[in-house]
Amino acid sequence: MTPHCRKAVSSAAGRALTDAEVRKIDDRLSATMRRLARTDPNWQGMTRDARVMAASEQAMRDVVAEAQLKVRSEEHTSELQSQEHISYAV
């Protein structure tokens, strides 16, 4: 991540990013770019900046979807634990 990008992401996050966080962001963005290169028929015709933006937007959608899935999973686990507790009490 360039210093300019790191500053912009830190500003959006409202705090300084750790080196580990920057590596995770870079890794996710690289993986998303590779995936889009394989799956998006328009990828080769895009400029580098357009590719980075497309990958960033897709990575953001992926993170949101993963977070929603995690919340649903935790809610389901909590519900199951509650049902088990009730069944043991009965």
Q: What is the pLDDT of residue 87?
A: 62
d(CA 57, CA 78): 32
Per-residue pLDDT tens digits for 44-54:
999 999 999 99
pTM here is 0.69
Number of helices (H) and strands (E), helices first, in the chain? 3, 0
Per-residue pLDDT tens digits for 27-79:
999 999 999 999 999 999 999 999 999 999 999 999 999 999 988 777 667 66
15 neighbors 7 (Cβ within 8 angstroms): no
d(CA 70, CA 35): 22
